[in-house]
Amino acid sequence: MNAATASEIARLETMTITKVVERFESLFGEKCRSRNKRYLIRRIAWRLQANAEGDLSERARARAAELALDSEVRVTPPREAIQPRLVTADVQSRPALDQRLPPPGSMLHREYKGRQIRVLIVNNGFEYEGQLFKSLTAVANAITGSHVNGFQFFRLGDRR
């Protein structure tokens, strides 16, 4: 590497990232997509050395073109060609019940502000005072009038 190229590469280290990006764009003739200073300095150093000492020989270029014809150039498909896969299940599955809950048919008991709270666990939710709720939190919210975690309200710990 000649002295002029070496001094220009050393000067890149002291430049701000904005100046390095400007230098990259002037050397490569394209918009810079990176703000990583180390990466840009390496790319610029490579280009400066290639310009000063010559690029690839014609023989090397011909061989690279020959190899490119034999290989699959694109490693990943274009984004617009990627189609989401739909998975269909032949068997109807029931949603898995939370393991912290007792089995359907069980009754949850809790005393809250001097009154007894009883909630029946059914297959499709929770029954409280003749009303069906989808979640235990919805039951706790109806009882307290504010947002409360149902598992914490009924003191159902982590049974995993």
Inside any domain, residue 31: yes
Inside any domain, residue 81: no
User: pLDDT digit string (tens) for 128-153?
Assistant: 988 899 888 999 999 988 888 888 88
Inside any domain, residue 125: yes
User: Which tokens in the block code for residue 92?
Assistant: 């109807």
pLDDT at 154 over 70: yes
Inside any domain, residue 84: no
The SS3 of residue 125 is: strand
Inside any domain, residue 145: yes
User: pLDDT digit string (tens) for 78-93?
Assistant: 676 556 666 565 555 5
User: pLDDT digit string (tens) for 82-121?
Assistant: 566 665 655 555 556 677 788 888 888 888 888 888 999 8
Number of domain units in the chain: 2
Range of the domain at 22: 3-70
**Torsion (CA) 7, 9, 13, 14 in degrees, nearest 10:** 40
pTM of the model: 0.39
Inside any domain, residue 148: yes
Neighbouring residues of 92: CB distance < 8 A, sequence distance ≥ 6: none
Inside any domain, residue 13: yes
Instruction: Please give the helix or strand (H or E) that residue 110 lies within, else none.
Output: strand 107-112
